[in-house]
Amino acid sequence: MGKFTQMATFVEVVVRGSLSAAARAEGIAPAMIGRRLDALEARLGVKLLQRTTRRLVLTDEGTAFLEDCQRILAEVGDAESAISEHSMRASGHLTVSAPAGFGRLHLAPLLPSFLAEHRDVTINLNLSDRVIDLVAEGVDVAIRIASLDDSNLVGVKLADNRRVVVASPAYLKRHGQPRQLADLTRHNCLPISSEGSQRGWTFMDHGKPVTLKVGGNMVCNDGAVLHAWALAGKGLAWRSMWEVAGQITSGELVTVLDEFAAPGNDIHAVFAQRRHLPLRIRAFVDFLRRSYAAPDYWRPS
């Protein structure tokens, strides 16, 4: 039996004037109230109440203990109320990691609005294209554009994403439009490199995924550079829709080989904890989901 339960029962009995009234308030048998008082007095080694069939009388020790119990229980109640109110309001510091290009375009511009809604939250935004260790580096939320295969992380899908092959109208006018995957061998492709090796482009061919090594006269490890080269008419680039949707809408870029597009690499928020996420993390993830779900968000004018 907890000490606080015994103390609360003692106060309830004194305030209500009888064991039976206290028992009715708690919805238990009077005998249970009596056992709690007996246990309290036995633990303290003093008599707190003189009990008769007609009334209860506080002893001197009981009078002094009553004041202490009421003060302690009130402080506990205040502490619980404070933490409960605190938990209902997002507060504290958030460390967020995201890929550099995506973070610049689709995360950094949203943060002022999020912080305007949650004025007790502060954010450290870390933009990096390397895959960070959330636990080792103290990151609360990481944005990842990939299929999640790390069972130690919890992922929440924020938005759909797919990759498309794009080129400028000027490039396609000069070199023609590829119609089949085999046509890529006759085009100047602009692949991304990673740690000295060139990444392939993934497509669906006859219902099966296939990754092709493409070639061209320029390779770069920065997707923004590949994007700029494609806009400048230097070749074909395989880019995510979150990056090129605006130029496709404006006509600055044209998609090709759409019928071979592979399943999307969706946008996720990942975090290390599985339970009891702080409200600031939940609020941030919900805010991003709402923002990306807006009907016109991915269709810039």
Same domain? For 149 and 93 the reply is yes
Q: What is the pLDDT of residue 228?
A: 95
DSSP at 226 = H
Cα–Cα nearest to 1, from 178, 165, 9, 127: 9
Q: Is the pTM of this model over 0.75?
A: no
Q: Is 174 within a domain?
A: yes
Taking residues 278-290, report their average pLDDT.
91
Q: Is 79 within a domain?
A: no
Q: What is the pLDDT of residue 214?
A: 92
Tell me the CA distances in angstroms from 138 to 123, 142, 154, 158, 248, one per residue in order: 13, 11, 15, 22, 38
Same domain? For 198 and 281 the reply is no
Q: What is the pLDDT of residue 301?
A: 46
Q: Are the beta carbons of 237 and 166 closer than 8 angstroms?
A: yes
Q: Lowest mean pLDDT: which of 6-15, 190-199, 242-251?
A: 190-199
**Average pLDDT of the residues of the chain:** 87
Same domain? For 38 and 65 the reply is yes
Q: How far apart are CA 189 and CA 193, in angstroms?
A: 12
Same domain? For 63 and 104 the reply is no
Q: What is the pLDDT of residue 132?
A: 83
Taking residues 282-289, report their average pLDDT.
93
Same domain? For 19 and 142 the reply is no
Provide the Cα torsion 113, 114, 117, 122; round to 10°: -120
Q: What is the pLDDT of residue 86?
A: 55
Q: What is the pLDDT of residue 89?
A: 81
**What CATH number does residue 54 fall under?**
1.10.10.10
**What CATH number does residue 198 fall under?**
3.40.190.10
Q: Is 84 within a domain?
A: no
**pLDDT tens for each residue of 77-116:** 767 766 665 556 888 999 999 999 999 999 999 999 999 9
**pLDDT tens for each residue of 254-283:** 999 999 988 778 899 998 766 667 889 989
Q: Is 63 within a domain?
A: yes
Q: Lowest mean pLDDT: which of 28-37, 109-118, 142-151?
A: 142-151
CB atoms within 10 A of CB 42: 9
Query: Does position 1 have pLDDT exceeding 70, yes or no?
Result: no
**Contacts (Cβ under 8 Å, ≥6 apart) of 136:** none
Q: What is the pLDDT of residue 247?
A: 93
Residue of 206 and 171 predicted with greater confidence: 171
Taking residues 54-64, report their average pLDDT.
87
Taking residues 2-18, report their average pLDDT.
87
Query: Does position 62 have pLDDT exceeding 50, yes or no?
Result: yes
Q: Is 80 within a domain?
A: no
Instruction: For residue 61, give the H/E element and its range.
Output: helix 60-87
Query: Does position 246 have pLDDT exceeding 60, yes or no?
Result: yes
Strand bridging mode 208-212 / 201-205: antiparallel
**Contacts (Cβ under 8 Å, ≥6 apart) of 195:** none
Q: Are the beta carbons of 286 and 195 closer than 8 angstroms?
A: no
The residue range of the domain holding 216 is 163-260
Q: How far apart are CA 242 and CA 258, in angstroms?
A: 16
Alpha helix stretches (DSSP H) within 122-250 = 169-175, 223-231, 241-250
